Amino acid sequence: MSKRDEAWLQGILDKIWDNYFPEVQQVNDVRIVFGRRTKRRLGSISLHPSDCKTSVITMNGLFRREDVPEFVVEATIFHELTHYAHGFNSPLEQAQAHPHAGGVMRREFAERGLLELYLQQKRWLKANWLDVLTQEFPAKPRAGVRKTARTIAIKPFWFIGD
Ligand SMILES: [Zn+2]
């Protein structure tokens, strides 16, 4: 039985790096941690602001849930590692002006043989993410508003930002 701790994340990161980014040099410390449970961000990567010695990949705390498939976690780590490889929040040379410019993420998955993983993650999020959020963040009934209309704004927020 796998336990979803940071060693587990580190194992997935190592596997993805070794198998899919073999030519990408690790030029500083790269750590991976669980962050808060959030609605709008699957993951992010940051660089220590003063010395550039450490890049930290922060994963949504909701990924501790066993019902979030491992491929969703893998695709998120792949996404953040792509930013690292492209020089965003890593000491490597920046590959393009914007981290998500012109379909660059999809292309990176495709070129490294993981287009199916990219699509799988997208499909799973579309079908299930809202349910996860509804369980984790129950809508608070507002005074004077009937409880029947419980909605969370649906936007493809997981493809933007981070
Ligand atoms: Zn991103």
Tell me the pLDDT tens digit for each residue of 54-85: 999 999 999 999 999 999 999 999 999 999 99
Q: Which of 88, 72, 71 is nearest to 80 (CA)?
A: 88
Distance 100 CA to ligand 1 centre (A): 6
Distance 41 CA to ligand 1 centre (A): 9
For the chain, domains (ranges, CATH) are 6-138+150-159 (3.30.2010.10)
Per the prediction, the chain carries an average pLDDT of 89
How confident is residue 160, by pLDDT bands cut at 50, 70 and 90?
Answer: very low
Q: How many angstroms separate the Cα of 115 from the Cα of each of 75, 83, 103, 105, 128?
A: 10, 17, 12, 10, 20
* Residue range 107-132, pLDDT digits in tens: 999 999 999 999 999 999 999 999 99
User: What pLDDT score does 110 carry?
Assistant: 98
Whole-angstrom distance, CA of residue 134 vs CA of residue 117: 25
Distance 160 CA to ligand 1 centre (A): 7
The total number of residues written for the chain in this structure: 162
Distance 88 CA to ligand 1 centre (A): 9
Distance 37 CA to ligand 1 centre (A): 17
Distance 137 CA to ligand 1 centre (A): 24
User: What pLDDT score does 140 carry?
Assistant: 76
Task: State the amino acid at position 59 in one-letter form.
Answer: M
With a cut of 50, say whether residue 100 has pLDDT above it. yes
Distance 150 CA to ligand 1 centre (A): 29
Q: How many CB atoms lie within 10 A of CB 85?
A: 19
User: What pLDDT score does 48 carry?
Assistant: 86
Average pLDDT for residues 141-160, to the nearest whole number?
A: 54
Average pLDDT for residues 79-100, to the nearest whole number?
A: 96
Distance 142 CA to ligand 1 centre (A): 34
Distance 84 CA to ligand 1 centre (A): 10
Lowest-confidence segment of 27-31, 35-39, 74-78, 156-160 by average pLDDT: 156-160
Distance 23 CA to ligand 1 centre (A): 20
